[in-house]
Structure 1
């Protein structure tokens, strides 16, 4: 009986891992977040006119409109699209939003 439970547990973990990979992992967006070298860390040349902390000293976060992941202003990919500012968790989400919603 114990062997059956172990096999069942391993199978469940493998299935969940497979589904996570198919669904995009952490945010379900079907893309790779990568590491700090791909735009999640310091993004040279980027500027924004607001602080990273609100008046209460808490870190401000913004919801990525594509995948729903919350990102801080310091780590976000920021785009101004159709006159509005948007915060994205990755370049992939930013490109997808631009492709779907920007005016030509």
Structure 2
């Protein structure tokens, strides 16, 4: 079973992070039902495009090193933008880990 956040246009998550810290943001997205011909989405961390994802029926992990200035406040915005008007944007797992630490 997969638990997923979804939105028809743009999924936004405001993640609370340690201010001023540099760590690794890990995101997992999956499209097991290949919904409406398959999802196609762009994933942003802050204003920076992290990845364009399509054909991720078996799941896909994404990682980003995140530090200043993105962590200067207590929050980090993650956006997943739908690029298939027949489908939706999805995100299943969000992890904040220290460098060198494995998956949770």
TM-score range, shorter chain: under 0.3
Which structure is larger by alpha-carbon Rg, 1 or 2?
A: 1
From the two aligned structures, give the one with the greater strand fraction: 2
Between the two structures, name the one with larger relative contact order (CA 8 Å, sep ≥ 6).
2
Could you tell me the TM-score, scaled by structure 1's length?
0.25
